[in-house]
Amino acid sequence: MPRNSADLLIVGASEVLTLGGASHRPRTGAEMNELGIIKDGVVAIKGGLICDIGSLQKIYDKWSAPGIIHAEGRVVMPGFVDCHTHAVFAGSREIDFIKKIVRKSGREISAVPAYLEILKGGGGILETVAKTREASEERLMIYAAFWLNNMLKYGTTTVEIKSGYGLSFEDELKILFAIKKLRGSKMDIVSTFLGAHAFPPEKSREAYLKEIIDHMIPHIHVHELAKYCDVFCEAGAFSVEEAEKIIEIARVWGLKIKLHAGEFNDLGAVELGVKYGAVSIDHLDHISDSAILAMAEAETIGVLLPAVPFHLMTGHYAPARKMIDAGVPIALATDFNPGSAPTFSMQMVIALACRQMQMTPAEAITASTINAAHAIGMEEKVGSLEIGKQADIIILDIDNYLQLPYWFGGNLAREVIKKGVIVS
């Protein structure tokens, strides 16, 4: 029988992690340990899509291809989906970081004379807002492209990016237009409006809330600038009542809902998210047992961000075990941002999830691929290796998947393939 011709075959993998069979709904509970492993599996790619996948014999009987990648006994899996980032910003906040180290050490800032002058400076989110406002759209795109390229090198092939460092009509739209233009890059990018990230210093709470509701959200709809609307619901940021006003309007304008909740306090924002059918609720380091049950019942995805308590040195991680055991679908993400999570590495996040939240390696991989794809509405295209899906594939320099969280702190991605093309 003549063989069909594909563009590319990936052969010689010790394990192909397909994550197949979960494109209709995210995996929960014990299912999160199912990786759909094919030993010595082969992936056939045509036109940027996976045209077949299976055992060596099955694929060789059916397919030939001019291009062959030999995985040399390494692990082949779907590219990571980073479903929560703030990757468009200017500047960095290492001074905030030094302040935290000093505070954590129990010393006074004045005990660190070398840093004294710079430590007196502003810092915090408003420093990033000021720098982001100063930067042009083109400049922000250059900065973001640098970070996206690093993400790609570390195996992330799909990313969500939020606005939120503009905090004015012009600056939030500038960020969202930058994200829209970046969509033409190698990555798949999903855009989220997070004008409700903080309150700007120059306006009253009421005035800014009105600006979001009356001006920003309608413009975002008209220019198709975002798929989701997110609110940072936290003490010192937006209250549950303020978040509810924004959510109601966002839904009217066709935006789907996400929420930042329980990063430092449990304000009852999870209940609000569940009430309005949020696609995901993110952070959840502080969450009540009843809120966990409500999320499980509503099948709301919990996006956990362990790089944040790690970087902030709070020691307070989301109760992932409790949530998985209760049936909440869990995804993982970096929360990449200059203040609370300056890492673009999903590999690092997986390492933290296993060590700090006792997720199994398989659960962490599921949470970083197919479940993360569900959290940003990309489950039909990415997050698993199945016929018809995009050939977004990484080859990791490890013998078996258990080594992904085990060898931590480096970059295990040997080859990164996006839509059938080697990009790193």
Binding site for Zn ion (CB under 5 A): 335
Shortest approach of Zn ion to residue 335 CB, angstroms?
Answer: 5
Tell whether 165 is in a known binding site. Answer: yes
Which residues are CB-contacts of 277 (< 8 A; sequence separation ≥ 6)? 257, 298
Q: Please check whether residue 73 is in contact with residue 39, taking contact to mean a CB–CB distance below 8 angstroms.
A: no
Q: Do the annotations mark residue 285 as ligand-binding?
A: no
Q: Give the C-alpha separation, 341 to 337, whole Å.
A: 5
183 marked as part of a ligand binding site: no
Cβ contact 42:53 at 8 Å: yes
Contact 394, 404 (CB under 8 A): no
| Apex 86 CA angle, 80 and 88, nearest 5 | 110
Task: Provide the 8-state DSSP code for 216.
Answer: I
In whole angstroms, the minimum distance from the beta carbon of 51 to Zn ion comes to 37
Shorter beta-carbon distance to Zn ion: residue 15 or 335: 335
CB nearer Zn ion, residue 29 or residue 91: 91
Query: Which tokens sit at 243?
Result: 């978040």
Shorter beta-carbon distance to Zn ion: residue 41 or 164: 164
Q: How far is the CB of 312 from Zn ion (least distance, A)?
A: 13
Closest approach, Cβ 84 to Zn ion, in A, equals 6
Q: Name the residue with the smallest CB distance to Zn ion.
A: 335
What is the secondary structure of 267-309 as a DSSP string? -SHHHHHHHTT-SEEEE-SS--HHHHHHHHHHT-EEEE-THHH
| Distance separating alpha carbons of residues 381 and 386, to the nearest angstrom | 9
Q: Judge whether 15 is annotated as a binding position.
A: no
β-bridge mates for residue 127, sequence order: none
CB of 284 to Zn ion, least distance (A): 12
If the CB atoms of residues 285 and 335 are measured against Zn ion, the closer one turns out to be 335
Question: Is 340 flagged in the annotation as binding?
Answer: yes
Cβ closer to Zn ion: 211 or 335? 335
- Cβ atoms within 10 Å, residue 169: 15
Q: Pick between residue 283 and residue 389 the one whose CB is nearest to Zn ion.
A: 283
Residue 335 marked as a ligand binder: yes
Question: In the bound complex, what is the minimum distance in angstroms from residue 385's beta carbon to Zn ion?
Answer: 28
Pull the structure tokens for residue 362: 């398989």
**DSSP string over 29-80:** GGGGG---EEETEEEEEETTEEEEEEEHHHHHHHEE-SEEEE-TT-EEEEPE
Q: How far is the CB of 86 from Zn ion (least distance, A)?
A: 6
**39 Cα distance to chain centroid:** 29
Q: Is 260 annotated as a binding residue?
A: yes
Q: Between 234 and 335, whose beta carbon lies closer to Zn ion?
A: 335
325 is in an annotated binding site: no
Q: Is position 311 annotated in a ligand binding site? A: no
The answer on whether 283 is annotated among ligand-binding residues is no
Asked whether the beta carbons of 220 and 182 are under 8 A apart, the reply is no
Within 10 A of 61 (CB to CB), how many other CB atoms are there? 11
Nearer to Zn ion, 96 or 335 (CB): 335
3-state secondary structure of 227: coil
Q: Does 93 count as an annotated binding residue?
A: yes
Would you say 271 or 335 has its CB closer to Zn ion? Answer: 335
SS3 116: helix
Q: How far is the CB of 198 from Zn ion (least distance, A)?
A: 12
Of 286 and 419, nearer to Zn ion (C-beta) is: 286
Distance, CA of 330 to CA of 128 (rounded, Å): 30
Closest distance of CB 139 from Zn ion, Å: 22
Least distance from Zn ion to the Cβ atom of residue 283, Å:
7
C-alpha atoms less than 13 angstroms from C-alpha of 144 in its C-beta half-sphere? 32
Indicate the SS3 state at residue 393. strand
Instruction: Report the binding-site residues for Zn(2+).
Output: 84, 86, 260, 335
Instruction: Report the binding-site residues.
Output: 84, 86, 93, 165, 197, 260, 263, 335, 337, 339-340
Instruction: Report the binding-site residues for Fe(3+).
Output: 84, 86, 260, 335
Instruction: Report the binding-site residues for 4-imidazolone-5-propanoate.
Output: 93, 165, 197, 263, 340
